[in-house]
């Protein structure tokens, strides 16, 4: 049986390159996890997701519990089998999405009662039910149930939610039902307030989780606030455990966070942008809807190993986007995921070579120069 583990293989300043091992394989960190909300990375085949270098897909407990249902997925062999992704899966706890998507929410000490945004049916999520659902889905990493508040917010509200999340962390850890190679992760809360973040981190570290996430960021605050919170909080987390910055971010966010010692990311940005005609490339972000691309025979990046990035002209992508063709969404999503993974692979190599700062600077210079874009 494979045990869940994390090793730091190289460090460069606070940045580190490492390896997470789960029941479904190895994850090279820093890792970008592709968002696979409803048991699909939208518009993508899993084979192509894998070919971008993606090691982890993220599934959303909130979506999956409502449709098709966690017990249904379990009967069908678990989420890996269901969606044909035999590699590592991380599931969130449902805590964040129940607050942003569900109707008629009521938060109590016990958990959150809510109505489905799909059909209005009534449900209850508690730390125990969230961990049960994640065990039924069979994901490799189970996130603790937490409450995440928007920023800016009052100290009282941030503190209340942080303390509730600490109590839910304890209940989540007790309710964790994973086997070998599976692990529960804690989520540090505390908004943009250093003392609350440190208190949350300290308490969670005492609980000795196999991994630590930073939640409640990328919820509307400016980038410099997020980076300040990382500067203040990451040093309080154990060196030997993976650190996951939830819901982040732009390519520039990723470089900043890696520099500050973050190991894992997830974000809808590359996939959502791909469905809306936007491409992330070495040359910056391009809007393929733009008429300037209509006659351009160049691919997004001739040097890319990704077929979507390399084998189709910008003129063709422009045509597909303008025509509302599904293939346009597929190719741009694929190209974006490939670029995010290329960025991470470059970061890992640079950390191993002790030149991460130079890599980040060169990468940003490429975006600024544009040129090919």
Applying CB under 8 A, the residues found at the interface with a second copy are 38-40, 42-45, 47, 67-68, 72, 75-77, 82-84, 294-295, 297, 307, 311-313, 315-316, 318-320, 322-323, 325-327, 329-330
* Nearest Cα to Cα of residue 306 among 351, 267, 270: 270
> Which of 12, 263, 266, 301 is labelled catalytic?
266
Residue closer to a second copy (CB basis): 280 or 312: 312
Residue closer to a second copy (CB basis): 291 or 365: 291
Collect all residues with Cβ–Cβ distance below 8 Å to 134 and sequence separation of at least 6: 61, 91, 93, 142, 143, 178
Buried b (16+ CB within 10 A) or exposed e, 332-351: bbbbbbbbbbbbbebbbebb
CB of 372 to a second copy, least distance (A): 17
User: SS3 for 1?
Assistant: coil
* Nearest Cα to Cα of residue 365 among 268, 274, 283, 255: 283
| Distance (Å, whole) CA 201 – CA 300 | 42
Residue closer to a second copy (CB basis): 77 or 220: 77
CB of 95 to a second copy, least distance (A): 22
Known active-site residue 55 = no
Residue closer to a second copy (CB basis): 72 or 103: 72
CB of 307 to a second copy, least distance (A): 8
What stretches of 88-212 show up as alpha helix (H) in DSSP?
95-101, 127-137, 155-175, 194-207
> Which of 12, 92, 192, 263 is labelled catalytic?
92
Residue closer to a second copy (CB basis): 82 or 168: 82
CA distances from 149 to 169, 210, 231, 277, 282 (A): 16, 24, 20, 31, 34
* Nearest Cα to Cα of residue 22 among 180, 137, 131, 135: 180
CB of 271 to a second copy, least distance (A): 11
CB of 265 to a second copy, least distance (A): 23
CB of 53 to a second copy, least distance (A): 19
Q: Is the dihedral of CA 244, 51, 346, 256 positive or negative?
A: negative
Known active-site residue 263 = no
Q: Give the containing element (helix H, strand E) for 32.
A: strand 31-35
| Distance (Å, whole) CA 370 – CA 337 | 19
Residue closer to a second copy (CB basis): 294 or 361: 294
Catalytic residue numbers read: 92, 266
């Amino acid at each position: 049986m494979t045990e869940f583990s994390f090793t730091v293989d190289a460090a460069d300043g606070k940045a580190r390159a490492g390896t997470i091992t789960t029941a479904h394989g190895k994850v090279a960190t820093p890792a970008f996890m592709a968002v696979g909300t409803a048991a699909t990375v939208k518009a993508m085949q899993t084979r192509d997701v894998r070919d971008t270098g993606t090691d982890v897909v993220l599934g959303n407990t909130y979506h999956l519990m409502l449709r098709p249902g966690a017990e249904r997925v379990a009967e069908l062999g678990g989420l890996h089998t269901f969606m044909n992704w035999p590699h590592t899966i991380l599931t969130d706890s449902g805590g964040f999405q129940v607050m942003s998507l569900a109707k008629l929410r009521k938060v109590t000490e016990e958990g959150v009662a809510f109505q489905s945004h799909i059909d209005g049916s009534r449900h209850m999520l508690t730390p125990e039910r969230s961990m049960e659902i994640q065990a039924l889905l069979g994901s490799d990493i189970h996130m603790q149930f937490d409450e995440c508040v928007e920023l800016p917010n009052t100290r009282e509200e941030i503190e209340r939610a942080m303390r509730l999340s600490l109590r839910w962390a304890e209940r989540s850890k007790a309710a964790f039902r994973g086997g070998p190679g599976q692990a529960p992760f804690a989520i540090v809360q505390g908004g943009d307030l250093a003392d609350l973040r440190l208190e949350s981190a300290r308490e969670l570290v005492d609980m000795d989780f196999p991994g630590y996430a930073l939640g409640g960021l990328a919820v509307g605050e400016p980038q410099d606030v997020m980076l300040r919170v990382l500067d203040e909080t990451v040093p309080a987390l154990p060196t030997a455990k993976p650190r996951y910055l939830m819901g982040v971010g732009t390519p520039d966010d990723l470089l900043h966070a890696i520099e500050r010692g973050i190991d894992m990311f997830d974000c809808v940005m590359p996939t959502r942008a791909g469905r809306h005609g936007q491409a992330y490339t070495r040359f910056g972000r391009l809007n393929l809807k733009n008429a300037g691309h209509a006659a351009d025979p160049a691919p997004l990046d001739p040097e890319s190993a990704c077929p979507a990035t390399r084998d189709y002209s910008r003129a063709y992508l422009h045509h597909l986007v303008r025509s509302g063709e599904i293939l346009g969404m597929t190719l741009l999503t694929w190209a974006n995921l490939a670029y995010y993974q290329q960025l991470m692979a470059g970061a890992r190599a640079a950390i191993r070579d002790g030149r991460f700062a130079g890599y980040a600077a060169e990468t940003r210079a490429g975006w600024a120069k544009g040129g090919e874009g």
